[in-house]
Structure 1
């Protein structure tokens, strides 16, 4: 267990965050409890964050920045902290996503992490391991902040219809997840197409992949294995996957028709069923 007197700010971004939080708090002559009272949390939570035993949330960071007059330092550090908590094999991929000006993603089985709701992400991450599930879910959702930048990437997603039908986390979770997808209708930077079952054999049968495009650097193709990431800038691979993506887009439904299918699946498959008296039933 890390002790506050021996906390090494160079050990990790989380340790550095804790060190800076403690430094700013002590400079303001506040105890952990006093700061907790100001930012609406317990002094124990402040202590856990200062000793790198608990991940800070963005709202916590923003409130502390205001309370301690740090000029937004902890809020800016928060993104680095969350990225550092990703599995080591995925951290490079998260950096590529953060730098890309365009992301093209094909997912045959589930909604991609950049568009997952909290409940859906928690269900995916907790299949075999529920250890620190809340923190791991928060780390995944933090990646979605790339869409809050002044110039967010353009995100093209092609989902197999199977991803809409695979019930992850229960009917309510799926209903909320599909509603979340529909919330991007009309957003020119987040475009969702559905590859229907009727498309039959298609160019993505070998599995999911992403394309990351940059202003000047070569395009990167990303594929994923169990616990491993495989990004490559090999020109032949990039050419092949770019062609595959073009064919997938051609086979997929239009943006409008995709939204209609998502809405229909949400209502017919995950909608609230009622008995003859009008009361909801499972």
Structure 2
């Protein structure tokens, strides 16, 4: 069964409702007037600006658009699923952008990541994660990463393609023992069929300065998205004009990265040196 998340359901439902209105050629003002709503109510729904979807509002829109049968049942089910709270909602310190990203990561089909400064979150051990954060935040960071990593081991796992800088692999985060354990863990995960790890080598003609995660989803109607996170700075992109440069950049970086086989060989060498 495909993975789902409340964040993904809300986003998908909003896109579906917008698409249904557009296919009927009705304006937002006309729909709002027919239902006795203010235009801003419909706008918030179509822009996914509602925190908890109201099922009766969805049913009213489906009535206007003439949606019946299994299609109607499916969209109402999406609305009900969208009212749930994801496990990440318990972590109140997460920014809204980070929470949105984690929620959508849970439902993504493919994730492409570029990581210049550290081993990516989905590949970290708890000890490595704690070492990256101050003591007060370390346990929370490790707990979040442990939960997020489950997408790699589900029956319908996330396809994860990552380019990581060689310098990040050599950095002894948390000390020698933690570093060695982290590299062994990385070797294990790199052996999974759904994980494609490629190293950006120190011999590359230019340093790796990019840091982003690109998500692709199962349904065509759900736009691809990019999450950019640097210390003290984060951004979320869904507009195709903003997402395309990141997809192009990923392809450019692949040309300078080692192949998957070369990367596994180098990773094994670095792990041997760390022990």
TM range (shorter): 0.5 to 0.7
**RMSD (Å), alpha carbons:** 1.9
2:245 and 2:138 map into 1 onto residues whose CA distance is: 37
Provide the rounded CA distance (Å) in 1 between the counterparts of 2:230 and 2:169: 22
Residue 128 (structure 2) aligns with: 120
Contact 2:88 2:103 in 1 (8 A): no
What residue in structure 2 maps to residue 98 of structure 1? 106
- Tell me, in whole angstroms, the C-alpha distance in 2 between the residues paired with 1:83 and 1:262: 35
TM-score, normalised via structure 1 length = 0.62
Contact residue 161 and residue 195 of structure 1 kept, 8 A: yes
**1:162-201 paired onto structure 2 within 5 Å:** 162-201=167-206
**Aligned match of 1:80 in 86, 98, 113?**
86
Indicate if the aligned counterparts of 2:131 and 2:138 stay in contact, CA closer than 8 A.
Answer: no
Deviation of 1:83 after TM superposition, in Å, equals: 4.5
Give 3-state SS (helix, strand or coil) of 1:164's partner.
Answer: helix
Q: Which runs of 5+ in 2 are unaligned?
A: 1-84
Partner of residue 11, structure 2: none
Distance 2:100 2:195 in 1: 22
Q: Report deviation, 1:228.
A: 4.5
| Segments of 4+ moved more than 4 angstroms | none
Kept in 2, the 8 Å contact 1:209–1:221? The answer is: yes
Cα gap change, 1:136 to 1:247, in 2 (>3 Å): closer
8 Å CA contact 1:93, 1:229 repeated in 2: no
Unaligned 5+ runs, structure 1: 1-78, 272-282
Given the alignment of the two structures, is residue 220 of structure 1 paired with residue 225 of structure 2, yes or no? yes
Offset at residue 238 of structure 1 (A): 1.5
Distance in 1 between residues matched to 2:253 and 2:141, nearest whole Å: 32
Q: What is the distance in 2 between the residues matched to 1:171 and 1:187?
A: 25
Alignment partners' CA distance in 2, 1:263 and 1:110: 17
How far apart are the structure 2 equivalents of 1:81 and 1:95? Answer: 9
Find the aligned partners of 1:83 and 1:165 in 2 and give their Cα distance: 34
Q: 1:180 offset after TM fit, Å?
A: 0.8
Q: Deviations over 1:91-112 (max 9, x none)?
A: 1110121111000000011011
Q: CA deviation at 1:82?
A: 4.3
Give distance in 2, aligned partners of 1:185 and 1:113: 14
> For residues 119-168 of structure 1, what are the alpha-carbon distances to aligned partners after superposition, in whole Å with 9 as ceiling and x for unaligned?
10010122xxx126334421232111112322111000100111111221
| Equivalent pair of 2:132/2:138 in contact (CA under 8 Å) | no
Q: 1:199 is paired with a residue of what secondary structure? A: coil
Flag the 1:88–1:155 CA change in 2: closer, same or farther, 3 A.
Answer: same
Q: Post-superposition shift, 1:227?
A: 4.4
Q: How many residue pairs end up in the alignment?
A: 187
